[in-house]
Amino acid sequence: MGFSAALQGESSHTALLTRQDGELRLLDTMRRVLVARAKCDRDYAAALTHLAHTAAKMDNNDVDGALDQSQLHKAWRVMVEGLEEWSSVMRQNADTLVLDTVEKLAALITEKRASRKVYYEEHQRITNEVSRLQEAVGKSKNNYEQALELYKTSKTKYEDQYLKGKPGRKLDELKERYQKACRKLHQVHNDYVLLLCEAADYERDFRTVLLPGLLEYQERVQEDMIDKWRCILREVWELSDTSQGKFAQLQTEIGASVTAISPKAEYSIFSDVNKSSPPEPVTFEFCRDLLGDGVGSLQAGQLAVDSLTVDSLRIKLNDVEHRLRDVTAELREKQNLLNQHETEVVNIRKNSLQDSNIASRLPVLKRASDVLHRELNELRCKESWLQHQHSIIHDPLASLGCEEAPQPWEAAQAHVNGESHQRSDSLSLKSRSAAIKELLRKPFNRSSSKAGSHSPTSTPPQTPSRPPTEERSTPPDMGSPHTTPEGHHTEGLAVNGIPELTYDPDRCLEDEQWFHGVLPREEVVRLLVEEGQYLVRETTRNDEQQVVLSVCWGSHKHFIVQTTPEGHYRFEGPAFPTIQELILHQHQCGLPVTNKSGAILRTPIFRERWELNNDDVELRDKIGRGNFGDVYKARLRDSGLEVAVKTCRVTLPDEQKKKFLQEGRILKQYDHPNIVKFIGICVQKQPIMIVMELVPGGSLLSFVRNHKGQLAVKQMMGMCVDTASGMAYLESKNCIHRDLAARNCLVGHHNVVKISDFGMSREEEEYIVSDGMKQIPIKWTAPEALNFGKYTSLCDVWSYAVLCWEIFSCGEVPYHGYSNTKAREMIDSGYRMLAPPNTPDEMYQLMLKCWQYDPENRPHFPDIYAAVDTIYSTL
């Protein structure tokens, strides 16, 4: 019986942790005993050697020459010489026991501790999620009860006032309160239904997939370590087997006991002893008591789809679809990575007979594949409940078959309007009560809720009014009084805080501040964050250039500017001679761009301060080539400043252009003497360009190669200090460089090193790679990133030590003469590069700390900077 079937209960979880703690203590005891055993064997071997030399000396001095040809004397000579050979073999076995077997035992202890930590943290994470969902459901239920109480109270007050037959301001106020309470109740109802669905799906997956999957993974890990443990004990047995007399009997017994060890049987007995029942299912059901005597059209466990909720449901649907796409993409990427691992395993097994060294990579691949299997199970669960959420929301919305939901308030409103004309004809209380009940039975539509202060008989306004936009505060570091917090400029503020645009016939489209050129769609989505924000950009579809209006309205909407046969521009309304006049009209009229979208232009997003015009940059000499395009030495026309410019090839897809601009977006927020400075980007037209400071010395790799034999040790240490300073700054900003190497650093004036090339960088504390092993610099990358795709700043620490090795070796290739695959195998087996000539011993010891296999044992960059600065100051 396996872990997943037998050990799902809490008591089993505790027993498993206790078992692992006991195994760790046993491993540590074995390590200490074996070290002491090796010392005893060495002492014994030394005593035997001394005895053999003494016996030989005594033999030469005391034996009569007449015995030289005696067979008895020859036998004694053989015995004395055999005594020294016995001593030599015992000493060799003792050395092997310490240098090989005990080291394996220490590595197993480290691995077992890490395995226990991973299991404990993963078990806590998935278990806490069930508790969190239980708390969330309870909180949502309380919110539901409060909203329901507010709804019933406002309903009663409004009905009482209406039955008094006194229309006026008070009736309007009570009506508005009732409308708000009704809307809030519907929203809370939907949140409660969706949360119950999510909680039920997760709890089911927790019991059937996540917890069993974690336990299956843990069982395989523990069995693997039992197998390693058995191999270590077999080595001890073989090294200590003398095969004579009592030793033979003892070793036979030891060998039988070691051979009897079976990883499967070991945990089978444990599972039977600690067997427990799986956790009881947690039921998530709609509390029908909430509805009581009924609240209109609300149904237990069903979404309320009407004019009060349709917009919020569409937003939720878009969010679910976006998350579902992300999960599906991640699922596909991890499946591809798993397929790569399995293919590599097959190839290793085919070639293991020719090269026994590559077989050492099999355990690493197996462990990585086990982790991927568990992550895939969790992603499939997530995909399943997201699909369920999508179905719950999408199906009722799709059944509407129209842009807007039904308007139940209008029919009731018309009914009340007709009845109100008969009030002067002595309308009976019974008739008026029936009208009120019909009115209150269904939710209000949006036109009524926005009508403001109207009596039940008044007609809602026909033209939607544009709500005022709050004026944004001016941050002190922007300077201009018309600069938004995001760094976008405006031309002025009109009534109600709505930006006022002006039209200048002499100004072309490219000069308008709200025109963002060929900025990729992903960057546009990042800029438009508030309702009604918009900008204009240019895109190419089917080799045709098109001007696009992008608006944030519920979601992000993109409208292609249409061209009339007369050469004018329009959307659904009137046409204008220029795009500027079209945008100005659409901004000022307050009408939707299209009736279906309902999107209204409120706030233009102007170009950010660092968005330069392509014509402001004069490209000169080509000085290099990058992953996305060429690198040029250039000059800014206005200031004459010489700069470096990275260009992006026009033919690249938008996804690649997004990655290209990511480097500029990261660099623009950094300011440090050892980080290359960002000046701006050019997106007004193709090609897109990133403008940075020009660092005259070129790459650090070329510099140390060209100055081989000319750099003093203190100069090379200074380069290590500069790089550590820049990396400590990046670590403080939660930036993982991921490609730190001498080729990606530049040398400025006075040999100051500046870190560059942030194309692979990520701004987060931990990043899990999802695009396979493409373009990964194998010899510079930490083992956990290669094996599991997990990046942190401690991965950059590993790369930093390789960079320092490049500096002191004057630009030699790391692991020279070895392929990437062979270098990975050597690193996993414990090999580390030797110190290049002239490397200070303290610096090499620091490099070895940075190359610790376990990332938690590596120093962080602030500590590295302090250490290298101290070494530098002592030279």
Asked if pLDDT for residue 466 goes beyond 70, the answer is no
Q: What is the mean pLDDT of residues 447-472?
A: 33
Give the pLDDT confidence score for residue 351 in this predicted structure.
Answer: 77
Give the pLDDT confidence score for residue 434 in this predicted structure.
Answer: 45
* Higher per-residue pLDDT: 654 or 419: 654
Residue found by looking up tokens 């709505």 in the block: 498
Q: Are residues 791 and 847 in the same domain?
A: yes
Give the pLDDT confidence score for residue 796 in this predicted structure.
Answer: 94
Check: CB of residue 754 under 8 Å from CB of residue 675. yes
Whether 788 has a binding-site annotation, put simply, is: no
pTM check: above 0.85: no
Q: Lowest mean pLDDT: which of 83-97, 191-205, 330-344, 723-737?
A: 83-97
Q: Is residue 799 part of a domain?
A: yes
Of 500, 501, 472, nearest in space to 488 by CA: 472
Check: CB of residue 216 under 8 Å from CB of residue 365. no
Q: Could you tell me how far CA 689 lies from the centroid of its own chain?
A: 27
Whether 627 has a binding-site annotation, put simply, is: yes
What are the tokens at 520?
Answer: 């990729």
Q: Is residue 585 part of a domain?
A: yes
Tell me how long the chain is: 875
Give the pLDDT confidence score for residue 758 in this predicted structure.
Answer: 75
Check: CB of residue 871 under 8 Å from CB of residue 843. yes
Q: Are residues 433 and 561 in the same domain?
A: no
Q: What is the CATH number of the domain that holds 768?
A: 1.10.510.10
- pLDDT tens for residues 373-408? 888 999 999 999 899 999 889 888 877 654 343 443
Asked if pLDDT for residue 500 goes beyond 50, the answer is yes
Q: Is residue 747 part of a domain?
A: yes
User: What is the domain count for the chain?
Assistant: 5
* Higher per-residue pLDDT: 468 or 196: 196
Q: Is residue 564 part of a domain?
A: yes
Residues identified as active-site: 739
Q: Is residue 379 part of a domain?
A: no
Q: What is the CATH number of the domain that holds 682?
A: 3.30.200.20
Q: Which of 411-425, 681-695, 748-762 has the highest mean pLDDT?
A: 681-695
Backbone angles phi, psi at 593, to 5 degrees: -65, -45
- pLDDT tens for residues 162-173? 888 778 888 889
Give the pLDDT confidence score for residue 768 in this predicted structure.
Answer: 53
Whether 758 has a binding-site annotation, put simply, is: no
Torsion, Cα 617 621 624 630, to 10 degrees, reads 50
Spatial strand order in the sheet of 544-553: 555-560, 544-553, 533-541, 603-604
Whether 349 has a binding-site annotation, put simply, is: no
- pLDDT tens for residues 828-852? 888 899 999 999 999 999 999 999 9
Residues facing 549 on adjacent strands:
536, 559
Q: Are residues 124 and 241 in the same domain?
A: yes
Check: CB of residue 175 under 8 Å from CB of residue 456. yes
Question: In one letter, which amino acid is 3?
Answer: F
From 604, 629, 659, the end of a domain falls on 604
Give the pLDDT confidence score for residue 451 in this predicted structure.
Answer: 34
As a whole number of angstroms, the distance between CA 273 and CA 590 comes to 74
Q: What is the mean pLDDT of residues 573-594?
A: 90
Q: pLDDT band at residue 780, thresholds of 50, 70 and 90?
A: very high
Q: What is the mean pLDDT of residues 252-268?
A: 71
From 588, 604, 620, the end of a domain falls on 604
Q: Are residues 109 and 166 in the same domain?
A: yes
E strand or H helix that includes residue 162: helix 102-163
Q: Which DSSP symbol is given to 615?
A: G
Whether 629 has a binding-site annotation, put simply, is: yes
Q: Are residues 412 and 431 in the same domain?
A: yes
Q: Are residues 767 and 803 in the same domain?
A: yes
Q: Are residues 186 and 262 in the same domain?
A: yes
Whether 625 has a binding-site annotation, put simply, is: yes
Give the pLDDT confidence score for residue 577 in this predicted structure.
Answer: 92
As a whole number of angstroms, the distance between CA 751 and CA 857 comes to 32
Q: Is residue 43 part of a domain?
A: yes
Asked if pLDDT for residue 251 goes beyond 70, the answer is no
- pLDDT tens for residues 282-301? 888 888 778 766 566 788 88
Give the pLDDT confidence score for residue 309 in this predicted structure.
Answer: 84
From 671, 693, 715, the end of a domain falls on 693
Q: Are residues 657 and 802 in the same domain?
A: no
- pLDDT tens for residues 55-77? 888 776 655 554 555 566 666 77
Please give the share of the chain, as a percent, with pLDDT higher than 90: 34
Q: Is residue 582 part of a domain?
A: yes
- Host domain of residue 837: 700-874
Cα–Cα distance list, 691 to 379, 447, 510, 616, 664 (Å): 40, 51, 19, 11, 8
Question: Cis (ω within 30 of 0) for the bond into 687?
Answer: yes
Q: Are residues 687 and 718 in the same domain?
A: no
Average pLDDT score, the chain: 80
Give the pLDDT confidence score for residue 147 in this predicted structure.
Answer: 93
Asked if pLDDT for residue 455 goes beyond 50, the answer is no
Whether 606 has a binding-site annotation, put simply, is: no
Q: What is the CATH number of the domain that holds 239?
A: 1.20.1270.60
Q: pLDDT band at residue 701, thresholds of 50, 70 and 90?
A: very high
Please give the share of the chain, as a percent, with pLDDT higher than 70: 81
Whether 772 has a binding-site annotation, put simply, is: no
Q: Lowest mean pLDDT: which of 62-71, 153-162, 194-203, 583-592?
A: 62-71
Q: Is residue 841 part of a domain?
A: yes
Give the pLDDT confidence score for residue 651 in this predicted structure.
Answer: 80
Q: What is the mean pLDDT of residues 759-778?
A: 59
Q: Are residues 442 and 589 in the same domain?
A: no
Q: Are residues 617 and 523 in the same domain?
A: no
Q: Are residues 595 and 631 in the same domain?
A: no
- pLDDT tens for residues 503-560? 778 788 887 888 888 777 777 888 899 999 999 998 877 667 889 999 999 899 999 9
* Higher per-residue pLDDT: 357 or 82: 82
Asked if pLDDT for residue 760 goes beyond 90, the answer is no
Check: CB of residue 846 under 8 Å from CB of residue 867. yes
Q: Which DSSP symbol is given to 210?
A: I
As a whole number of angstroms, the distance between CA 450 and CA 447 comes to 5
- pLDDT tens for residues 95-146? 888 889 999 999 999 999 999 999 999 999 999 999 999 999 999 999 999 9
